[in-house]
A and B are shown apart, each in its own frame.
Chain A
Amino acid sequence: MRLFRILLAHELRMLLVSPATYIAATLFLLVMGFVFAGILETFTAAPQEAAPAAVFFQLFWLPVFFMVPLLTMKSLAEERRLGTLETLLTTPVTTPQVVLAKFAAAYALYLSLWAATGGFFYILVRFGGQSQPIDLGPLLGGYLFIAVSGTLFVALGILASSVTRNQAVAGILAFVLLLALVIGTRFAGTLELLKLESLAGVRAAVDYVQVFTHLEDFTRGVVDTRQVLYYLSGSALALILSILGVEAKQLHS
């Protein structure tokens, strides 16, 4: 535990001095700012059914696709390319400690970037001069969804970084994994093939992993433990595979 804390402090520090972090943060806040401004414009033009927060979080995948790969692609791939993984693993630290520290640091940064978007809502309430305050339910549900689903997204990024020594490959692989997870499952849900009676089990599974459905539930205030379990077990699996990935590469290096 002491070693994990040292590693985590080190990782956070390295993320905070790395230019890539600030590029990702700037891009993220820029994109989300535009999205938010766009939403406000549609809401002032005509009354809408959904809450603004719910619409805002509908677009969560946009930053996730570029920000998570940017934050995680460097983590293990760069260490392996430089060879510093070898110096690290010949000290008393273990592979799980290293992988978990990288994950925890990236996840902390992911959360803090999303937390920064809370400022948008604050500005809206403070300066909007609205008669009715913003609906808190969808907002909290949305952020809870971001926090829970973020574990899986970041863990997938770490997994992608653990299987290669090339940052670009890690980044693209993370992007593909996230795309398959978010858009791919949605596409699979619309397949005619799955409407067959004999594939009812598969169809149920596909419905269960729909990220957008999860988001809707969360913003409506429904926190389904099955969905939480899905993300947590998924990220545990991805992290275990990352640890195995690092150790397997070590065996065959």
Chain B
Amino acid sequence: MSAEPAILVHDLVKSYAGHPAVRGVSFEVAQGEIIGLLGPNGAGKSTTLRILTGYLPATSGLVTICGVDVASAPADVKNLIGYMPENNPLPDDMRVREYLHFRARLKGLTRRNLAPRLDEVVHLCDLGRVRDRIIGKLSKGYRQRVGIADAILAEPPVIIMDEPTIGLDPHQILAVRDLIAGLRGRMTVLISSHILPEIEATCDRVVIMNQGRVVAAGTPADLRREWIGAAAYELELAGPLDALPALLASLHPSLVPAPPDSVAGPDGFATVRLAAAPDAPDLREALVNALARDPRFRLRGLARARHTLEDVFLAATRPKAA
């Protein structure tokens, strides 16, 4: 494999009748990477993906797939990409076998390679039981798998899937996740989603878009450090909460109670959130010891808050006014 990026997007702009949908998006995807594209509805994810596939022309900017310019050689790019659009449109009146056969022929598989490859894809996507069923009568999970099977059919170097797990039940999501993870290393995969645990579990890197711009990009761990910063603790505590800051300051200078302010429940216990500087050591043991020694406080729970990608997502896509 060459060192050139599988997908290169530079300063991409797309406007619909003067209304900008994508404004200056740039990112790079190395070969064999699995990338998640995140963003609230209307952030410009689908538009970006459609431009990558050559289906929509960009207003300005540069997009290359494996070094091929999408704007000047859309026909070549279409051979390099397996694409599953949003909502996974499929013809309702064909059988799974017929549809995949038709798609394989369109994508240029020769008759000799066709049958073994179809068997392989059907096995990979676990479609064996529904092979001869009519697509219009399949459940959503199977339809989704037919869409994925179509995308990987011609073994293109780049797979682009718009919301591959939307509308699936947890079992099916797990199955699709395994399927995508199975492509790791062999193909470059770009998926968009707003199911965050999904992205976190499968993707090597994440690009978060909001209002047509990239607001954050990096590995989930990097993003957490960048956007959440402070380490956080959560206590369940009874006692005079006013006296807490002084006690905390004695443990570590940066340790302070964090909003929201907590109110004690009927049993006297309140849930208190604490924040510390990112470079502070793990203070859990010190906290337990200090609170146990102090007769004014009773402690019944302590946890280090684990930030998920969800927190990063919310922080990164928070409206500017807030």
Chain A residues, Cβ within 8 Å of B87? 83
Question: Does the CB pair A10–B102 fall under 8 Å?
Answer: yes
Main secondary structure of the interface of B (DSSP, over half): loop
Fill in one digit per residue for B192-225: 1 if any A CB lies within 8 Å of its CB, else 0.
Answer: 0000000000000000000000000000000000
Question: Does the CB pair B89–A87 fall under 8 Å?
Answer: yes
Picked from A10, A82, A86, A252, the residue with its CB within 8 Å of the CB of B16 is A252
- Contacts A18-B93, A82-B92, A83-B85 given: A90-B56 contact, CB under 8 Å? no
Q: Which of A91-99, A158-166, A176-184, A217-225 contacts B (4 or more CB under 8 A)?
A: A91-99
- Contacts A17-B93, A82-B92, A86-B89 given: A91-B55 contact, CB under 8 Å? no
Q: Which of B73-81, B174-182, B278-286 contacts A (4 or more CB under 8 A)?
A: B73-81
Question: Does the CB pair A86–B85 fall under 8 Å?
Answer: yes
Separation of A14 and B75 alpha carbons in the complex (Å) = 26
Fill in one digit per residue for A195-225: 1 if any B CB lies within 8 Å of its CB, else 0.
Answer: 0000000000000000000000000000000
Main secondary structure of the interface of A (DSSP, over half): helix
Picked from B53, B90, B91, the residue with its CB within 8 Å of the CB of A90 is B53
- Contacts A86-B55, A250-B56 given: A91-B89 contact, CB under 8 Å? no
Chain B interface bracket (under 10, 10 to 19, 20 to 34, 35 or more): 20 to 34
Query: Is A46 part of the contact surface with B, judged by Cβ < 8 Å?
Result: no
Query: Is A84 part of the contact surface with B, judged by Cβ < 8 Å?
Result: yes
Question: Does the CB pair B78–A6 fall under 8 Å?
Answer: no
Separation of A251 and B93 alpha carbons in the complex (Å) = 28
Question: Does the CB pair B54–A3 fall under 8 Å?
Answer: no
Separation of A152 and B121 alpha carbons in the complex (Å) = 43
Chain B residues, Cβ within 8 Å of A3? 106
Question: Does the CB pair A91–B102 fall under 8 Å?
Answer: no
- Contacts A91-B78, A92-B108 given: A83-B57 contact, CB under 8 Å? no
Tell me how far the C-beta of B100 lies from the nearest C-beta in chain A, rounded to whole angstroms: 12
Query: Is B33 part of the contact surface with A, judged by Cβ < 8 Å?
Result: no
Question: Does the CB pair B89–A251 fall under 8 Å?
Answer: no
Residue of A nearest to B16 (CB): A252
Chain A residues, Cβ within 8 Å of B84? 87
Chain A residues, Cβ within 8 Å of B102? 6, 10
Chain A interface bracket (under 10, 10 to 19, 20 to 34, 35 or more): 20 to 34
Query: Is A89 part of the contact surface with B, judged by Cβ < 8 Å?
Result: yes
Question: Does the CB pair B81–A90 fall under 8 Å?
Answer: yes
Chain A residues, Cβ within 8 Å of B91? 14, 82, 84
Picked from B16, B55, B57, B107, the residue with its CB within 8 Å of the CB of A89 is B55
Tell me how far the C-beta of B71 lies from the nearest C-beta in chain A, rounded to whole angstroms: 14
Fill in one digit per residue for A2-16: 1 if any B CB lies within 8 Å of its CB, else 0.
Answer: 010011001000100
Chain B residues, Cβ within 8 Å of A88? 106
Q: Residue among A10, A94, A251 with the most chain B CB within 10 A? A: A10
Query: Is B313 part of the contact surface with A, judged by Cβ < 8 Å?
Result: no
Within 8 A of A (CB), among B59-108: 75, 78-79, 81, 83-85, 87, 89-94, 102-103, 105-108
Picked from B56, B57, B85, the residue with its CB within 8 Å of the CB of A87 is B85
- Contacts A6-B102, A90-B54 given: A83-B108 contact, CB under 8 Å? no
Question: Does the CB pair B17–A252 fall under 8 Å?
Answer: yes
- Contacts A83-B85, A86-B55, A252-B16 given: A91-B107 contact, CB under 8 Å? yes
Chain B residues, Cβ within 8 Å of A84? 89-91
Separation of A66 and B84 alpha carbons in the complex (Å) = 37
Query: Is B150 part of the contact surface with A, judged by Cβ < 8 Å?
Result: yes
Chain A residues, Cβ within 8 Å of B93? 14, 17-18
Question: Does the CB pair B89–A90 fall under 8 Å?
Answer: no
Separation of A82 and B93 alpha carbons in the complex (Å) = 12
Residues of A with Cβ closer than 8 Å to B? 3, 6-7, 10, 14, 17-18, 82-84, 86-94, 250-253
Given A6-B106, A82-B89, A87-B90, 17 new contacts (CB under 8 A): A6-B102, A6-B105, A7-B106, A14-B94, A83-B87, A86-B50, A86-B89, A90-B53, A90-B54, A90-B81, A91-B103, A92-B79, A250-B55, A250-B56, A251-B56, A252-B17, A253-B56
A-B contact pairs, 13 of them (CB 8 A): A3-B106, A6-B102, A7-B106, A14-B91, A84-B91, A86-B55, A86-B89, A90-B53, A90-B55, A92-B106, A251-B56, A252-B17, A253-B56
Return the 4 tightest CB-CB contacts between A and B, nearest first: A83-B89, A90-B83, A91-B106, A92-B78
